[in-house]
Amino acid sequence: MLGKDYIDQDCALARALEVVGERWTLLIIRDAFFGVRRFSEFQAHLDIPKAVLAERLNSLVAEGLLERVPDPAHSGRHLYELTESGRDLWPAMHALITWGSRHRHLNSRVYMHAACGTVLDEDGRCANCDLAPGPEEILTEPRKGRGRSRSDPVAIALRGPHRLLEPLET
Ligand SMILES: [Zn+2]
Rounded to the nearest whole angstrom, what is the distance from the C-alpha of residue 92 to the centroid of ligand 1? 20
Query: What is residue 149's predicted lDDT score, i.e. its pLDDT?
Result: 82
- Please check whether residue 7 lies inside any domain of the structure: no
CATH of residue 86's domain is 1.10.10.10
Rounded to the nearest whole angstrom, what is the distance from the C-alpha of residue 37 to the centroid of ligand 1? 27
- Please check whether residue 57 lies inside any domain of the structure: yes
Structural domain harbouring 130: 12-163
- Please check whether residue 4 lies inside any domain of the structure: no
Q: Letter for the amino acid at 77?
A: R
Rounded to the nearest whole angstrom, what is the distance from the C-alpha of residue 29 to the centroid of ligand 1? 24
User: 138 and 164 in contact (C-beta within 8 Å)?
Assistant: yes
Predicted TM-score (pTM) of the model is 0.93
Among residues 51, 50, 48, the alpha carbon closest in space to that of 24 is found at 48
- Please check whether residue 159 lies inside any domain of the structure: yes
Rounded to the nearest whole angstrom, what is the distance from the C-alpha of residue 124 to the centroid of ligand 1? 11
- Please check whether residue 3 lies inside any domain of the structure: no
- Please check whether residue 18 lies inside any domain of the structure: yes
pLDDT tens-digit profile, the chain (170 residues): 567 778 788 899 999 999 999 999 999 999 999 999 999 999 999 999 999 999 999 999 999 999 999 999 888 999 999 999 999 999 999 999 999 999 999 999 999 999 999 999 999 999 999 999 999 999 999 998 887 788 899 999 999 999 999 999 88
| Count of domains observed in the chain | 1
